[in-house]
Amino acid sequence: MAYIHPDVLDNGLAVLTADVDTLHYCSAEPTSYATAVSLSLGSKSTPTVGSPTAASPKGRRVIVSAVVDGAATGTGNITHWALVDAGASKLLAVGALVEPMAVAAADVITSEAFSVVGPGA
């Protein structure tokens, strides 16, 4: 199940644009900031998160840009992504990868752009 932090629900997707400082690639679905960090097999610092735009057929979304230089720190299968605000120790949003991705420590992680769609879409 996808997760969106209450700050995002209260303040809209702009919280993701303003506050995300790390994209973690996780071996299972995290349910808190601490589990996102502990399940992380790699990360991308300061990922590019676009401003909110219209989602189709309705609602709002932000697009997280493709990553070409993520750093793997563990070995296993990445199944989920987690957008976090490390400075405030907040898990802001979580989603599943379309296809799990195998990584080994010290690999370079690449991933396609993806959308985070707000409630009601």
Helices in the chain by DSSP H: which ranges?
Answer: 6-11, 14-19, 33-39
Q: Is the pLDDT of residue 87 over 70?
A: yes
Q: Can you tell me the mean pLDDT for 82-88?
A: 96
Residue 1 pLDDT level (bands cut at 50, 70, 90): low
What pLDDT score does 95 carry? 96
Angstrom distances, CA of residue 116 to CA of 25, 62, 110, 119: 15, 5, 18, 10
Radius of gyration over alpha carbons of the chain, in Å? 13
- Nearest Cα residue to 113 out of 98, 103, 93: 98
Query: What confidence tens digit (pLDDT) does each residue in 24-73 have?
Result: 999 999 999 999 999 999 999 999 999 988 888 877 899 999 999 999 99
- 15 φ/ψ angles, rounded to the nearest 5 degrees: -60, -40
Coil/strand/helix, residue 42:
strand
Q: In b/e form, how buried is each residue of 41-62, taking b as 16+ CB within 10 angstroms?
A: bbbbeebebbebeebeeeebbb
